[in-house]
Structure 1
Amino acid sequence: MKLKNKIGIYLFSLLGLLIVSCNKDFLDEELTTQYSTDYLDTPEGIEELTRSLYGNIRWHFGYEWAYGMTLYGTDEFTNANDLTNEMWNTYDNRLGPLGATPETGAANKNATSPAQLWDQLYYGISSANTIIAKAPEVMTDEVTRNRSLAHAYFLRGYNYYRLTAQYGSVVLQTEPAEGVVRNFTRPTAEECWEQVISDFRKAYELFEGEVFTYGKGITWTKATAAHFLAKALLFRASERNQDWNSSYIDADLKEAIEVSTYAINARGPLTPDYNDLYSNWTGVDCEIEQLDEILMAAGHNADGSTNGRFGNRTYNYFNPQFSSFSGGWVRRGVWIGGMDFQRCRPTEYSYAVFDHVNDSRMWKTFKTVYGANNVAEEGHDVQPGDPGIVMILNTKDDRTYDNYTFGAFVQNPDWTDDQGRLAEWKIGERQTPTSGGLTSETGQWVPNSLVLYQNGEYVAPTFKNQPICNFFAGINKTDDGSRQAEKGDAHRDVTMARLAETYLVRAECYIRLNQFGQAMNDINEVRRRAQWKSGENRSYYTDGGMAFENNALNTGTAAENYINSNLNMNTYYLSNPDIAVTTEASSLELTSFPNDLPEEDEDVLARVGASSQYERALHFILNERTRELLGEWQRWETLSRTGTLVRRAQAFNPEAAAGITANKHELRPIPQAFIDGLLNDDGTNLSASDKAAWQNQGY
């Protein structure tokens, strides 16, 4: 339904759009409206505003909305015992246009409102509109003018991409607005995607190839625009738009393949070791933040301009509540790369979708061992630096641990081997990427231990549940040991797009064109990087906590805690008890597609009822995206786009299954405060029916 002259949007004054600048000196200027207007009539002002666009994207990772709107309520993550954003996972009636507050049933004041993404992205759009309008007038140098325009078109396209992906049709404002505007025509979703694609196309045309204007690893380039143009074209051609997109599909998929190929050729090959993408983060602006594979990142460092209100808080969201496990054997602190806020608990699917033996990504992503930095009980043989928490990620058909008793240690003076002792662990010397002595010899008692399966049943959620499990293997892609305080901002960049996804986007386009052989080639490029290389120690683990080695706080007791907490080991051999210790290469390459898929994929396909060639291929791509991109801030969008959100959430996320509703939860609610502020052309308020027509279905 298209509504004319009935709706509006709060846009922002010139002063408002300027204060989002990421340049500290610029923020310190005396920002009167007159001064700001004059400054934007100069090349220097437009260049400064262009730089500020990089500040707009940091917002995405500054608070609870980072995971609430992107990861919750999907097949990959569910909530643990912390209920801050529970409604985004359970789809209950608190997920609505008003937003959740303690008064409306939220657990605390930190719950994410649908209005937060909406409001913030229009700030960036306002800045982009100003650049697009003024750059041709005030910038005479063609290179700098095109550079500013490329950035403005890209940021506007990106923000409208995020808005349209989340809310469906949204207000399109493509010219600077004076003050507050409150009546607009609501476009259709088709018109919104046309605007997104148009902006990305213009950015793609204007960028100077792979020229890192503002610093490698941060600067958007032609490949960045190509990647997101391909994603936007694929989105328009996907299932969520099937009511109107039939005339676009063929051309969109072919164009997406073309621009994806540019990005792959310009920025390839993939980084050889998956660890280098996230785990080997050694500190501020380190080498892995400059990798060619990274196409877009939210830039953070030790400068105060990247900290504060929208500093990087993502290290909080993926760890279990390790410090509260019985006995308190592992104390939290800056020496461990992440805080234990237990927001994002992996589902059974997120473990089971991996090949536990041959896929190195599993063991380079999940943190399964914490060293004891606090000897909490006397009379046991645990010493500082011994394993304090161990999580065995076995498979459903493994019967090794059927008769073991796992769980959190409870003081018991009559302790015996059948009351919680983990008797299949022996700590060897500290692990390195190529050596170390971890085997499955018996002898080491571990105070807190977990296993995924016993007797063929998924039992992991039964450990430390109060009432929801807070004991799980978290992921390490955001860990940061450079923080200056336990709850201080992280200093590492947040990767927002990388080349491995470009391969999977292109593969999906080939699938939709029934070119399965071409799709398999792209998939195998990603899977070859994921397989173990000859000489790798499969017991080795590391994460960004290693940056603590270069942290000024790394002295005294803190230094001891760092050494004792981070053992550089995983539970590979405990989780795969039939595998002998080896440093041989493994293989993950497909030889047939979409038939004869790996066992872990066939299990998923059976659960979701994927039977046709197309459905098998599509769901395989969704599985591969999990293995490659787990936790990378886009799962809800991907499942909504492909029309698989409800099916996969119901299949794999027990907390979401009861509440998620088809034809409603594929879109987010439009913020009620926005709707209530709309006026008719004559200045009168909208009627109740007009307001209802603006809101998305079901809300």
Structure 2
Amino acid sequence: MKFKNIVSIALMTSVVGGMTTSCGDEFLKEELKTEFSTDYFKTQDGLDDLATGAYLKLKFKFNYIWGIECYNMGVDEFTDANNQMPAWNHYGDALNSTEGGANQPVWDNYYGLIEPANVLIKNVPEFYGQSNADYNTRLGEGYFMRAYGYFELVKQFGGVPLKLQPSTGPETYFTRNSEEEVYAQIISDLEEAYKLLPTTPAQVGRVTKYAAAHFLAKAHLFRASEAYDKWNSAYKNDDLDAVIKYATEVVNAHPLCSDYVQLWDYKEANGANENVSEVVLAAQFSNDESTWGRFGNQMHLYYPSVYQDMKGTNRDISGGREFSYVSATEYTMEVFDRVNDSRFWKSFITCYGCNNTKNAPTWTAEDIASGKAPAGVAAGDKRFVGGQVGIKYIVNNPGDDRYENYASGASDVLVSKDGVLQAPHTFVRYFKGQDFNWNTDIKNLTGNYYGVIPHKRSVALSKYRDGARNSIASQFGTRDAIIARSAEDVLMIAEAYIRKGESNYAQAIEWINKLRERAGYAAGENRSVNVDGGQAYKNNSYCTGKGGGYSADGAIYSEQNTYYESNNIAETTASSKAAMRLNSVDDVYNSPTEQRIYKVLKCSTNAEKMMCFLLDERTRELCGEALRWEDLARTRTLDARWHAFNDGVSRGIGDFKADKHYYRPIPQSFLDGITTESGAGLTAEQKQAMQNPGY
């Protein structure tokens, strides 16, 4: 039974929602039944409801725009797209203590998770009854939720106030604890959760011993990272051993999927794809409208490239609603071995179908007169029709002389290949005669999509695409959102061995190879097939039954990709797993895929190359999964990588400053609302002392 019944909780007040138990597929249902006093939390039913209600906050990261702004914007993988975000992608002046769109909600919501966790930790021992079969689980959930909340806060803001007791009334006096103190609390709480939580959840979606182990490994790895070098030397060795211990347990308990695409093969809401073995913890969403609350899962909105303004393509459910907040950078194209590494083609969209034949572009007399039109076409013929590819992205390499730009307009794009005009709207990474370019200088760009600013055209991430929504315009995504999967544990183990020193590099490579061999194509695999969650439209009654998101002409979702055309190679069914395998550390140092990256980041030592490779491998495996900003911040590589790979560096909107932007600003509303111990409001100087440097 999927864990979907949940209550609404008005945190820091006396209001709690009731929970209804369902025999069906119903968990995280937000249903405010009545109001209770805080005495309700001194009963077993009340504590059960409180624990269940706390799971709402696990959905928070995926609920709204902060999911992209705070976690995957202003990094190397993505720059901003059709919706420009000066504060978050460019580190502009708008990223300050009064920014309320993302910064303040992150602060407020994770403290909103800590409060019910504190109540659970205090009240379960007193009022639940240790003989109850759920006693350990409820207490373990309290410790896990408190640790999770503080972990999210310390990663964004640095040291924050530790509040470890439930409120009994208004509280206004707080001081900031050090990062060291916050990490000590996080690890202590996770250790308690690890001891108390079951290995198997009573309901899908609840935290387990292995979820605690995953975050224990992660907290230890973060504490051992460069962000905390001023104070972490006494912890590093033990921390790295702990990473290996806990993460290995997670990998053993949650085996990797045999094929990377299984993680993203979303066919229908609440389907089998959401319960693959690799998933350690996921925020629970569904197509049950009563579970959506205010936001639902909105991550599907932020990565799409705009397609609806090109002739022959109307927005539909299968293609997604293109809020288009981020656009993949040239780094993200370059970091993959796109011939042998299936993860690129199983993570990105390169073909879009035609779903509006009537409005599809036509061949013109000028096209025919140029001698470049395909043989046999006449003026007025459609360039493509429903069911055919209407838009394609060619992810080729410099030196590819097949493509030349012929004509581009607002809704009509023409490119020639080997002298013949292409029928679909065709976007190309490199045209004939163009040399490699990181495309960070907006005055010197390659191809015909990097130069569209704002970046409405891009090779778009497919991991969140959702064809199970109930209308074309719906922002409410139905897919569960992965919070933790064991592939990240594999990478954490590898990183721990790298950090242990050169004598441990071989062990790091053994672990990395678990992912790289999985990423290789299997013998007989069709490399030209695209699979992503857009396909769920086929099982969606709003498309097939009600006509709301599916055209008789076809769908935007396409089962094709441009693998062969982009790579310009002959078709093959051979395995590429051996080609993906690292045979020694020399394969890391001399990796052809990595050479340009090593050069621009000035990686010269073996240690620098190993850590660079590890971070690149995290992109190849985890791209877009709301982890990148914190990874680059903890390793103190965000400065170098933003300046090397994000075109924000040349757009004159802002600039990443290492002495400021490794931390987010403490919200002004918090500083204005707290007091000294005597109850007096803080002076300007006291507020500044509480604030992070530079804000």
| Kept after mapping to 2: 8 A contact 1:373/1:564 | yes
1:463-478 matches, within 5 Å, as 463=449, 467-478=453-464
1:225 aligns to what?
212
**3-state SS of 1:181 partner:** coil
1:103 matched to which residue of 2? none
For residue 495 of structure 2, the aligned residue among 486, 489, 508 is 508
Measured in 2, the distance between the counterparts of 1:683 and 1:642 equals 39
- Tell me, what secondary structure is at the counterpart of 1:449? strand
3-state SS in 1 of match to 2:123: helix
537, 543, 563: which one aligns with 1:554: 543
Could you say which residue in structure 1 is the equivalent of 2:626? Answer: 633
% of aligned pairs identical?
A: 35
1:372 paired to 2:354 = yes
Aligned partner of 2:584 in structure 1 is 592
Shift of 1:29: 2.5
Partner of 1:312: 297
Q: Distance in 1 between the 2:325 and 2:19 partners?
A: 28
Matching residue within 313, 318, 336 for 1:330: 313
| Distance in structure 2 (CA, Å) of the matches to 1:213 and 1:397 | 56
Distance 1:137 1:461, change over 3 A: farther
Structure 1: stretches of 5+ with no match in the other structure:
1-10, 101-111, 412-418, 426-441
Contact 1:98 1:113 in 2 (8 A): no
SS at match of 2:308: helix
Alignment partner, residue 607 of structure 2: 614
Task: Check 1:25–1:525 CA distance in 2 against 1; reply closer, same or farther (3 A cut).
Answer: closer
Q: Call closer, same or farther: CA 1:570–1:131 in 2, change over 3 Å.
A: same
Cα separation, 1, equivalents of 2:450 and 2:619: 26
Aligned CA distance change for structure 1 residues 484 and 126 (closer, same or farther; 3 Å): same
Task: Say which SS state the counterpart of residue 165 (structure 1) adopts.
Answer: helix
Q: Aligned in 2, Cα 1:452/1:147: closer, same or farther, shift over 3 Å? A: farther
Which residues in structure 2 correspond to 1:285-364 (within 5 Å)?
Answer: 285-325=270-310, 328-336=311-319, 338-364=320-346
What secondary structure is seen at the aligned counterpart in 2 of 1:600?
coil
Q: How does 1:154-553 map to 2 (within 5 A)?
A: 154-209=144-199, 211-215=200-204, 218-268=205-255, 270-278=256-264, 280-325=265-310, 328-336=311-319, 338-375=320-357, 376=359, 377-378=361-362, 379=380, 380-401=382-403, 403-405=404-406, 407-408=408-409, 420-423=414-417, 445-452=423-430, 454=432, 455-458=434-437, 459=445, 462-463=448-449, 467-488=453-474, 489-514=476-501, 515-553=504-542
Q: Among 559, 565, 568, which residue is 2:559 paired with?
A: 568
Q: Deviations over 1:223-269 (max 9, x none)?
A: 1111111010011111000001100000111111111111111222x
| 1:616-647 C-alpha deviation (Å, 9 max, x unpaired) | 11111100000000000010000000010101
Gaps of 5+ in 2: 1-9, 21-25, 363-379, 438-444
Q: Contact 1:371–1:387 at 8 Å: present in 2 too?
A: yes
2:87 is paired with a residue of what secondary structure? helix
Residue 24 to residue 162, structure 1, CA distance change in 2 (3 Å): closer
Q: 1:63 to 1:50 in 2, by over 3 A?
A: same
Distance 1:452 1:63, change over 3 A: farther
Matched, 1:603 2:581: no
Structure 2 length normalisation: TM-score? 0.88
Q: Distance in 2 between matches of 1:564 and 1:185?
A: 55
Determine helix, strand or coil for the equivalent of 1:295: strand
Q: Please say if residues 364 and 542 of structure 1, whose CA atoms lie closer than 8 Å, have aligned partners that are also in contact.
A: yes
Give the AA of the match of 1:71.
Answer: N
Is the Cα contact below 8 Å between 1:507 and 1:522 reproduced in 2?
yes
SS of the residue corresponding to residue 14 of structure 2 reads: helix
For residue 344 of structure 1, report the CA deviation from its aligned partner. Answer: 1.0
Query: 2:75 and 2:305 mapped to 1: Cα distance?
Result: 19
The aligned counterpart of 2:6 is none
- CA deviation vs aligned residue, 1:304-340 (integer Å, no higher than 9, x gap): 3431313111111111111123xx321112132x211
Residue identity opposite 2:584 in structure 1: S
CA distance in 2: counterparts of 1:620 and 1:564, whole angstroms: 39
Q: Structure 1 561/512 Cα, relative in aligned 2: closer, same or farther at 3 Å?
A: farther
Q: What does the per-residue CA deviation read over 1:529-570, in whole Å, with 9 as the maximum and x for residues that have no partner? A: 100111111110021111111111233765445834333000
1:381 CA drift (Å): 3.4
Tell me: CA distance 1:444–1:462, structure 2 relative to 1, closer, same or farther (3 Å). Answer: closer
**What amino acid is aligned across from residue 400 of structure 1 in structure 2?**
R
Match in the other structure for 1:80: 81
Q: Which amino acid aligns with 1:576?
A: N
TM-score with structure 1 setting the length: 0.88
Distance 1:424 1:311, change over 3 A: farther
Two-structure CA RMSD over aligned residues (Å): 2.3
Distance in 1 separating the partners of 2:145 and 2:657: 32
Q: Which amino acid aligns with 1:449?
A: F
Q: CA 1:53 to 1:87, structure 2 compared with 1: closer, same or farther past 3 Å?
A: same
CA distance in 2, matches of 1:443, 1:183: 69
Tell me the distance in 2 between the aligned counterparts of 1:485 and 1:390.
Answer: 25
What letter is aligned with 2:284?
Answer: G
User: Hey, what's the Cα distance between the residues in 2 that align with 1:478 and 1:129?
Assistant: 33
1:30 is aligned to 2:34: yes
Are 2:54 and 1:53 aligned? yes
Q: What is the total number of aligned residue pairs between the two structures?
A: 641
Matches of 2:295 and 2:590, distance apart in 1: 43
Between the aligned partners of 1:406 and 1:24, the Cα distance in structure 2 is 51
In structure 2, the CA distance between the partners of 1:619 and 1:407, relative to structure 1 (3 Å rule), is farther
Cα distance between partner residues in 2 of 1:596 and 1:99: 42
The SS at the match of 1:183 is: coil
Amino acid at match of 1:535: G
Alpha-carbon distance, 1:448 to partner: 4.2
- Taking the aligned partners of 2:481 and 2:553, their CA distance within structure 1 comes to 24
Q: Is the 8 A contact 1:367 1:476 kept in 2?
A: yes
Shift in Å at residue 422 of structure 1? 4.0
Change over 3 Å in CA distance of 1:79–1:361 after alignment to 2: same
2:423 aligned counterpart, secondary structure: coil
Aligned to 2:93: 93
Decide whether aligned partners of structure 1 residues 627 and 124 sit closer, same or farther in structure 2, where only a CA change above 3 A counts: same
Structure 1 residue 410: deviation in Å? Answer: 6.3
Q: CA deviation digits over 1:132-183, x for unaligned, max 9?
A: 1000111113531110111111111111001000000011111101232111
- How far residue 303 of structure 1 moved from its aligned partner, in angstroms, is 2.3
Partners of 1:122 and 1:19 lie apart in 2 by 22
- Does residue 677 (structure 1) correspond to residue 666 (structure 2)? The answer is no
Q: Choose 227-236 or 679-688, whichever is displaced more.
A: 679-688
In 1, distance between residues paired with 2:338 and 2:407? 21
Deviation at 1:388, TM superposition (A): 1.1
User: In 1, Cα distance between the equivalents of 2:541 and 2:31?
Assistant: 29
CA distance in 2, matches of 1:263, 1:60: 23
